[in-house]
Amino acid sequence: MCLCTTLTHQISRQLNISCKCIRQTIRKFDKFHTVCTKPGAGRKPKVTERQKRLTKFQQVRDDTLSLTDLVRFARTHLNLTISRHTISRILRDFNMISFIAPKTLELLRHNDVLDLTGVMNS
């Protein structure tokens, strides 16, 4: 230990770096076998892989569910508050889409009436 202390002291004086920094670098090299900075894990995901799979299986089980229905499922069964966009992204990761309800055609618009062929009549 004494030899290590004197070596770190000499290195720190030559490089004009603190002894603590030298010790940390040596300890990091002993642990990771490299002096490169290891990337951190970053922000932890809110939705775990298991929750993603359960959401996917729910969509597979009933493919008529909308994004809102899947958000409701996540809130009640998984105790997870996530948005429709997050659900859409999860399904996209599995190459899936949710059921999209067809938009109802607005029949009356600006006092014009659409006939069955879709031609505007005034």
Give me the pLDDT at residue 89, please: 93
Identify the CA nearest to 19 among candidates 27, 11, 30, 29. Answer: 11
* pLDDT tens column, 34-83: 777 766 667 788 899 999 999 999 999 988 889 999 999 999 999 999 99
**Domain check: are 21 and 53 in the same one?**
no
39 inside domain: no
Lowest mean pLDDT among 6-15, 27-36, 68-77: 27-36
**Domain check: are 54 and 18 in the same one?**
no
The number of domains in the chain is 2
**Domain check: are 27 and 54 in the same one?**
no
Domain that residue 14 falls in: 2-32
* pLDDT tens column, 93-104: 999 888 765 555
105 inside domain: no
**Domain check: are 26 and 56 in the same one?**
no
43 inside domain: no
**Domain check: are 56 and 87 in the same one?**
yes
Distance CA 90, CA 92 (A): 5
